[in-house]
Amino acid sequence: MAVSPFASPADRAGRAALVVFCVGVLIFLVTPVVAIIPLSFNAGSFLSYPLAGWSMRWYRELANSPEWIGAMRNSLIIATATAALATPLGALAALGLMRLPPKSREPMLALLLSPLFVPVIVTAVGVYFLYAPVHLANSHIGLILAHTTLAAPFVILVVQASLQGVDSSLLRAGSSLGAPPVTVFLRVLLPLIAPGVAAAAVFAFMASFDETVVTIFLAGPAQRTIPLQMFNGVRDQISPAITAAATLIIIVSIVLLGAAELLRRRGARINGLNA
254 CB neighbour count, 10 Å cutoff: 10
- Residue 81 is predicted with a pLDDT of 94
- Higher local confidence (pLDDT), 211 or 55: 211
Distances (CA, A) of 115 to 118, 179, 193: 5, 37, 24
pLDDT above 80 (res 70): yes
- Higher local confidence (pLDDT), 200 or 190: 200
- The model's confidence at residue 271, banded by pLDDT at 50, 70 and 90, is low
- The model's confidence at residue 144, banded by pLDDT at 50, 70 and 90, is very high
Task: Give the span between the Cα atoms of 265 and 196, in whole angstroms.
Answer: 9
Long-range contacts from 106-115, C-beta under 8 angstroms, 24+ separation: 109/156, 112/152, 112/153, 112/156, 113/153, 113/156, 113/157, 114/153, 115/149, 115/150, 115/152, 115/153
- The pTM (predicted TM-score) of the whole model is 0.80
139 CB neighbour count, 10 Å cutoff: 16
> pLDDT per residue over 73-83, tens digit each?
999 999 999 99
- Residue 270 is predicted with a pLDDT of 59
